[in-house]
């Protein structure tokens, strides 16, 4: 009975998901922010992302810049959300709190989970690693190396940043998890999505297969790659203490501790599951992380 239910969920949800894929998002109208299209073999069509270039990009023609890949949460990307984050990070660049860098906002679909789906219909990890990052490095003056890339995300995007950053540590200098989830080893609970939402995601993305979910989970990935993650990768995890995913974030933090993987863990009082409130509460500590990630903390100065 359970197997039949899982198969039914898988077929129904996968069919529905295929009808809803929107790979090209609307144009954006915000200073320094543009929509970029690239041909994706994994998607079988053009795919869009939003790219923020700092002011220095237009004036320092020989300079190469680091790149921050910022992964959105469930519900998908939008011009408004990208513009809001671009304004926040752009202001930090203009005031010298962080160095000038490109920000890339990939399209991970409303509930894509930043992984290759079990049925093969969506290949977001393949798209990110084999197509988007090389395209950005070819199209812009980037520091096309590990030391010049950060991956960061909120909620589902934090899950994606963990998955991609911990699976491919050779590509990124730092991984930033903001209100991330699902970080638990088993997908038995989904505090925000609820049972119905959990069943839809489990069926659509993971084929109703809990073992496949575990294989994709940051929990298992850090176990497999623990030795690689113990040196050179800057990792931070931030969660509000009013976030429904707090318990699973604490468990993941303890899991990293058990594996002796260096990281910083911040639990922010009074903050729910909201990226703007979380970033507001972090204040300048957010920019300290990005400077550290790029090796730019001032020697001898308390940060």
| Predicted confidence (pLDDT) at residue 298 exceeds the cutoff of 60 | no
CA distance 190 to 192: 6
Q: Give pLDDT, residue 9.
A: 42
Residue 6's pLDDT is what?
Answer: 44
Model confidence pLDDT, tens digit, residues 79-132 = 999 999 999 999 999 999 999 999 999 999 999 999 999 999 999 999 999 999
- Using CA atoms, how far apart are residues 172 and 148, in angstroms rounded to an integer? 7
In the chain the first and final C-alpha atoms are separated, in Å, by 57
Domain boundaries, given as residue ranges, for the chain = 2-293
pLDDT of residue 198: 84
Hey, what CATH topology would domain 2-293 get?
Rossmann fold (3.40.50)
Q: Say how many CA atoms lie within 13 Å of 58 toward its Cβ.
A: 7
DSSP 170: T
Tens-place pLDDT, residues 151-173: 999 999 999 999 999 999 999 99
Cβ neighbours, 10 Å, residue 210: 14
pLDDT of residue 77: 84
Instruction: State the pLDDT confidence band at 20, using cuts at 50, 70 and 90.
Output: low
Structure tokens at 200: 């839809």
pLDDT digits (tens, 9 = 90+) for 263-275: 999 999 999 999 9
CB neighbours of 183 closer than 8 A, spacing ≥ 6? 158, 159, 162, 177, 217, 218, 219, 245, 248, 249, 251, 252
Q: CB–CB of 297/97 below 8 Å?
A: no
Bridge partners for 150 per DSSP? 68, 174
Identify which of 150, 175, 176, 148 has the alpha carbon closest to the alpha carbon of residue 239: 176
Residue 292 has pLDDT above 90, yes or no: yes
Q: What is the largest CA-CA distance in the chain?
A: 64
pLDDT tens string 189-230: 776 777 788 899 999 999 999 999 999 999 999 999 999 999
Q: Is the pLDDT of residue 12 over 60?
A: no
Give CA–CA dist 84/81, Å, rounded: 5
User: Residue 208 is encoded by which pair of tokens?
Assistant: 């109703």
Q: Provide the percentage of residues in the chain whose pLDDT is more than 90.
A: 84
Report the SS3 class of residue 75. Answer: coil
At 151, give phi and psi (nearest 5°): -120, 130
Q: Identify the pLDDT of residue 250.
A: 98
Q: Are 145 and 232 in contact (CB under 8 A)?
A: no
Pairing relation of β-strands 45-52 and 102-106? Answer: antiparallel
Half-sphere exposure of 2 (CA within 13 A, CB side): 3
Residue 301's pLDDT is 33
């Amino acid at each position: 009975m359970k197997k039949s239910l899982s198969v039914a969920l898988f077929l129904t949800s996968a069919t529905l998901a295929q009808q809803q894929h929107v790979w090209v998002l609307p144009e954006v109208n915000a200073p320094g922010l543009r929509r970029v299209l690239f041909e994706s073999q994994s998607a079988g069509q053009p795919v869009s992302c939003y790219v923020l270039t700092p002011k220095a990009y237009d004036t320092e023609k020989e300079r190469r810049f680091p790149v921050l890949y910022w992964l959105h949460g469930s519900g998908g990307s939008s011009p408004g959300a990208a513009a809001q984050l671009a304004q926040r990070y752009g202001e930090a660049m203009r005031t010298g709190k962080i160095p000038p860098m490109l920000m890339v906002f990939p399209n991970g679909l409303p509930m894509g989970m930043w992984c290759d789906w079990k049925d093969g219909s969506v290949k977001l990890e393949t798209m990110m690693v084999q197509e988007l990052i090389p395209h950005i490095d070819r199209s812009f003056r980037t520091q096309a190396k590990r030391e010049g890339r950060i991956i960061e995300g909120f909620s589902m995007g934090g899950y994606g940043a963990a998955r991609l950053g911990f699976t491919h540590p050779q590509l990124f200098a730092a991984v930033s998890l903001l209100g991330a989830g699902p970080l638990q080893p088993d997908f038995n609970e989904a505090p925000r999505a609820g049972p119905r939402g959990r069943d839809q995601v489990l069926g659509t993305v993971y084929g109703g297969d809990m073992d496949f979910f575990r294989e994709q989970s940051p929990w298992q990935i850090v176990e497999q790659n623990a030795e690689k993650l113990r040196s050179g990768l800057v990792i931070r995890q931030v969660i509000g203490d009013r976030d429904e995913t707090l318990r699973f974030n604490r468990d993941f933090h303890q899991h990293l501790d058990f594996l002796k993987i260096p990281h910083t863990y911040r639990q922010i009082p009074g903050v729910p599951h909201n990226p703007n409130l979380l970033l507001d509460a972090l204040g300048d500590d957010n920019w300290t992380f990005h400077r550290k990630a790029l090796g730019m903390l001032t020697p001898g100065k308390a940060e």
